[in-house]
Every structure is written in C-alpha cells, then in structure tokens.
Amino acid sequence: MEDTNAQRMQHEVVLIKGDGIGPEISDAVKKVFHAAGAPVKFIEHDAGMAALDKGDDVLPESTVEAMRSVGISLKGPCTTPIGKGFTSVNVGIRKSLNLYAALRPVRSLEGVKTRFDDVDLIVIRENTEGLYAGIENEVTDGVVASMKVATNKACHRIAHWAFRYATHRQRQKITVFHKANIMKLSDGLFIKEARNVHHQDYPNIKYEEAIIDAGCMRLVQNPGQFDILLLENLYGDVVSDLCAGLVGGLGVVPGANYGDSVACFEAVHGSAPDIAGKGIANPLAFIMSSVMMLNYIADEKRDESCGKVADAIRQGYNACLREGFKTGDLGGELSTADFTQELIKRLGKEA
Ligand code: ATP
C-alpha cells in the first residue's frame, strides 16, 4: 500500500482528559482535530481524580513517564483532593518534568465584548519555585509556615526564557511584577536576575519593574501600557486570571508549560466543578491551547501541515465568535457540543 504523507506524519501526543469539565473539553478538541485532519495521535493517560478513581496514584508514574518520553502533552484540568496529604497534580507535573516556563497569551477576541478591545498581553510565569515549591510545615500546634523558595538558577533561567521569547516574537517590553519592597531576598533575587539578563544579553528589549499591587491597578486601568509580564509562580497564577478577566474570562485563555525538551499545553482555567457534566463549559481555552500545541509541533518537528491545521482551527473559532456563536460564559447560548459543531462547520473559513 502506498505510504501517504498523512500516514507517515502522525505525531504522538499524550492526552490527559482531566477532571470536572476536562472530559467534555477534551472531547471537543478530539472532534475538532478529527474534522480538521490534524496529524496527531493521542495516547491517553490519567491524573487527578480520574487516576484515583481507578485505584492509581493521584499522579501515576506511568503518566509522568509517558509525558517525558513522548515530549508533548495536552492536559485537561486535574483536581487534587484538598487536605488529604496529596501534592497538587499540576505542581507535581511541572516539577517532575521541569516545565519551568508557563506562557499565557491574553488577547482580545472579535465578538467578545469587554471593557478593552485591544488587549495583547503575554504572561510568563516561573513554574517551579516560590510558595508553590510546597514546602510547608506545622511549626507548633496552631502555627504553620510556608517557605518561599527562590534560586538564582531558576530566576536566571526564566528571565532568559522571557527575553529570548520577546526577541523571537518581536515584542517590545518586559515588566516584572514583584513585591521586593517586602520580600527583599526572594523577590529581590527574582528582579536582580531579570535586570542582569536584560543588561548583559538583551539591552534592546525595554525592561521595567512594578510593585505587584500597583501593577495590578495599572493593568485594569490600561492594559495597553504592558506587553510581556514576567512573574514568579504565585503572582503568575493570580495575575493570569486577572488578565483573563480583561478579555472575556477563563474560557478564552490558553496556556503552555515549557521545559528544555518537554512541553505540556493546558488552559489557564481549572476543572470548574460547578458546571462539570452540564455540557455548558466553554471548550475554547482548551482548543486554543491545542492550537498552540500544533504550532509547537510544526516548529519542533518541522511539519508545516500542523501549522496549517492550527490556522484553520483559529480561523474557525474566530469566525464563530464574530458571528455570535458563543457559550454561556461569553453571553451566548450554545452548549459545549453545539459550539464545537459550529467551529467544525467554519474550519478555515475566516474572511
Ligand atoms: P483552579 O484552582 O484549579 O485554578 P478554580 O476553582 O480557581 O480552579 P476554575 O475551575 O478555573 O477555578 O473556575 C473558576 C470559575 O470559572 C468557575 O465559576 C467556573 O465555572 C468558571 N470557568 C472556568 N473554566 C470555564 C470554562 N471553560 N467555561 C466556562 N466557565 C468556566
């Protein structure tokens, strides 16, 4: 039988459907990929409640190993039971695979009305340290302590990653949000390394610092004054959601976590237990994350066809939004499945 191009170029990707709305939005991505002819073969693994329910660990070693060996994964939101001694699945994955850089592009979308119509921000979050290092202990009865970890290695690494990203993407400016006026050593190290990387290697990219509370105020007054935001772990988590609010909410912000040779794509939102199983979740943030993944595959594996499929899907969802086909979180009336069908009808049909 003739070995067609389509048969040869099937890229393996680990898919973790996740918990809550995870299976619904994963199903949407699978349908869209199938309709768009994405040259991707999903290998499914579990984590979170889905793994526990099958009698496995909350983060099975086999899942981490598959993510590591395949190198590319698409991950739905995973729930970690609180107060039962489990380490967060998300934190566990990022630490085990050393996925140190989280990238969240936050852009206004035509057809999604918000206070601002020209938001174009990139949030870059350090993913492995800070308070999310998870070093907590009970000092004595009724007194607990959490340790905020910062190392010059990780601070330097994320600063370098951010400036390199800015250069490749021709972005103009990086702003570090910090609280070094209070956390002089930990946040102090974060900005010291960012300053060094800027001075030594990337003097042509503008660099500024903002104390995070004032920075958040400026962000909601006029997001256009920022370009790339660089933050340590906890600040990055919080500010990502704030930025999502500027463009329509958690249903429209994708994300990626990068290490040196492994990448994991996931939406910024969580498992949204309040709407799980109702068929009303917005699958767009996860679909957008899968588009980022296709573009990554196109670059890494030098497969142009992935870039073309990514463009077609992006054009499809842009057309849906512009024509008013939206889920409830964006003021529309479509279910997850109906939005997915409308997107499929419009694949690659942007005017
Ligand atoms: P985490 O701590 O894991 O980030 P969370 O509990 O803070 O999770 P989410 O699960 O992201 O938050 O949900 C926050 C709110 O946003 C919920 O009301 C949820 O229903 C809503 N939401 C999140 N994602 C979506 C989505 N894809 N579509 C519609 N609503 C969503």
Atom of ligand 1 nearest to the CA of 77: 3
In-domain check, residue 157: yes
The verdict on the CB of residue 272 being under 6 Å from ligand 1 is: yes
The verdict on the CB of residue 269 being under 6 Å from ligand 1 is: yes
The answer to whether residue 119 scores a pLDDT higher than 90 is yes
In-domain check, residue 1: no
Per-residue pLDDT at 2: 45
Residue 238 and residue 121 share a domain: yes
In a mutational test of the pocket of ligand 1, which residue from 233, 269, 280, 329 has the highest number of ligand atoms less than 8 Å from its CB? 269
CA of 252 to the centre of ligand 1 (A): 11
Per-residue pLDDT at 87: 81
The verdict on the CB of residue 274 being under 6 Å from ligand 1 is: yes
Please tell me which residue, 126 or 86, carries the higher pLDDT value: 126
Per-residue pLDDT at 81: 87
In-domain check, residue 46: yes
Residue 298 and residue 202 share a domain: no
3-state SS assignment for residue 207: strand
CA-CA distance, 335 to 189, in Å (whole number)? 47
In a mutational test of the pocket of ligand 1, which residue from 49, 250, 329 has the highest number of ligand atoms less than 8 Å from its CB? 250
Confidence of residue 85 (pLDDT cuts 50, 70, 90): confident
Residue 140 and residue 45 share a domain: no
Query: Which residue minimizes the CA distance to atom 19 of ligand 1?
Result: 272
Atom of ligand 1 nearest to the CA of 269: 11
Confidence of residue 245 (pLDDT cuts 50, 70, 90): very high
Boundary of a domain, candidates 222, 245, 268: 245
CA-CA distance, 61 to 69, in Å (whole number)? 12
196 token code pair: 């060094």
Confidence of residue 1 (pLDDT cuts 50, 70, 90): very low
Q: Which of 261, 268, 293 is nearest to 121 (CA)?
A: 268
90 token code pair: 């998300």
Residue 281 and residue 187 share a domain: no
Please tell me which residue, 4 or 166, carries the higher pLDDT value: 166
pTM of this structure: 0.93
Query: Which residue minimizes the CA distance to atom 25 of ligand 1?
Result: 251
In-domain check, residue 3: no
Confidence of residue 66 (pLDDT cuts 50, 70, 90): very high
Condensed to tens digits (0 to 9), the pLDDT of residues 8-54 reads 579 999 999 999 999 999 999 999 999 999 999 999 999 999 999 99
Condensed to tens digits (0 to 9), the pLDDT of residues 286-330 reads 999 999 999 999 999 999 999 999 999 999 999 999 999 999 999
The verdict on the CB of residue 275 being under 6 Å from ligand 1 is: yes
Residue 233 and residue 137 share a domain: yes
Provide the mean pLDDT of the chain.
95
In-domain check, residue 39: yes
The verdict on the CB of residue 329 being under 6 Å from ligand 1 is: yes
Burial 124-139 (b: 16+ CB within 10 A, else e): bbbbbbbbbbeeeeee
CA of 274 to the centre of ligand 1 (A): 8
CA of 93 to the centre of ligand 1 (A): 20
CA-CA distance, 344 to 328, in Å (whole number)? 19
Per-residue pLDDT at 350: 59
The verdict on the CB of residue 285 being under 6 Å from ligand 1 is: yes
Confidence of residue 6 (pLDDT cuts 50, 70, 90): very low
Residue 274 and residue 345 share a domain: yes
Which ranges of the chain does DSSP label H, i.e. alpha helix? 5-8, 22-36, 49-53, 61-70, 89-96, 152-168, 186-201, 212-221, 233-247, 284-300, 304-322, 336-345
- Residue 191 domain boundaries: 115-245
The verdict on the CB of residue 183 being under 6 Å from ligand 1 is: no
Residue 37 and residue 14 share a domain: yes
Boundary of a domain, candidates 245, 273, 296: 245
Cα 214 off chain centre by = 25
Residue 123 and residue 51 share a domain: no
- Fill in the amino acid letter for 311: D
The verdict on the CB of residue 91 being under 6 Å from ligand 1 is: no
Element (H, E) at 40: strand 40-45
CA of 265 to the centre of ligand 1 (A): 17
- Fill in the amino acid letter for 301: K
Residue 94 and residue 154 share a domain: no
Residue 158 and residue 100 share a domain: no
The verdict on the CB of residue 2 being under 6 Å from ligand 1 is: no
In-domain check, residue 2: no
Atom of ligand 1 nearest to the CA of 281: 28
Instruction: Say which CATH number the domain at 32 has.
Output: 3.40.718.10
CA of 339 to the centre of ligand 1 (A): 18
How many structural domains is the chain composed of? 2
Atom of ligand 1 nearest to the CA of 275: 20
Confidence of residue 84 (pLDDT cuts 50, 70, 90): confident
Boundary of a domain, candidates 245, 262, 278: 245
